[in-house]
Structure 1
Amino acid sequence: MNIVKTSEGTTRTLALEGRLDTTTAPQLEGEVKGALTGVTELVLDFSQLEYLSSAGLRVILAAQKIMNKQGKMVIRHVNETIQEVFEVTGFSDILTIE
């Protein structure tokens, strides 16, 4: 998985490319834990994300909990397969997906 990071003011965007699974979830977790100081909006761009596992869902939930305390988190450009994962797991009810 590749993570492309961009910042604009207090907004941090993480664009994910590839697969977010057991192998790559720690990579995103490291980025989230180290990248959110002073951030009031976290944008996760899933336009190039091909696969999402339960390990990835755990990291996304942890990021949401952090951002609930200091701002907001938005997930953008979700494909049908990943949207279905969000709906089946109930994550679509607790995440902001655009």
Structure 2
Amino acid sequence: MEIKKELDGNKLKISLVGRLDAVSAGDLDKVIQNDVNGIEELTFDFAELDFVASAGLRVLLVAQKRMNKQGTMKIYHVNEDVMDVLEMTGFSNFLDIEN
């Protein structure tokens, strides 16, 4: 998976390309742990994300909990397959998803 970051003041946009699975979730977790300090608006662009597994969902949960304390988090451009996973797991109920 490729992680693209765009920082604009206290706003961070993270674009994910490929698969967010057990192999790549650790990389995204490191970004969340290291790059979200002082961020008030975190956005994820899933336009090029093909797949999300449970390990990836855990990282999104950690990111959401952190942003609940310091700002907002939104997810954009979720494809049908990824949305199915988010809906089946109940994540769509608490993540702010806009297409």
What TM-score results when the alignment is normalised by the length of structure 1?
Answer: 0.98
User: How many equivalent residue pairs?
Assistant: 98
- Provide, for residues 48-83 of structure 1, a one-character-per-residue CA deviation record: whole Å limited to 9, x for no partner: 000100000000000000000000100000000000
Report the alpha carbon displacement of residue 8 of structure 1 after superposing the two structures with TM: 1.3
Residues 16-52 of structure 1 show CA distances to partners (whole Å, capped at 9, x for unaligned) of 0000000000000000100111100100110000010
Q: Name 2:88's counterpart in structure 1.
A: 88
Matched residue type, 1:92: S
5+ residue gaps in structure 2? none
Aligned alpha-carbon RMSD (Å): 0.5
Distance across 2 between alignment mates of 1:90 and 1:2: 26
Letter in 1 for 2:28: L
Residue identity matched to 1:54: S
* Deviation, structure 1 residue 9: 1.9
Q: With structure 2 as the length reference, what TM-score do the two structures score? A: 0.97
Residues in 1 aligned to 2:25 and 2:37: alpha-carbon distance in whole angstroms:
20
* Identical columns (%): 48
SS at match of 1:5: strand
Cα deviation for residue 89 of structure 1 reads 0.4
**CA distance in 1: counterparts of 2:32 and 2:6, whole angstroms:** 13
Match of 1:68 in 2: 68
Structure 2 counterparts to residues 4-83 of structure 1, below 5 A: 4-83=4-83
Q: Secondary structure at the match of 1:39?
A: coil
For 2:89, give the aligned amino acid.
Answer: T
Aligned-partner residue type, residue 11 of structure 2? T
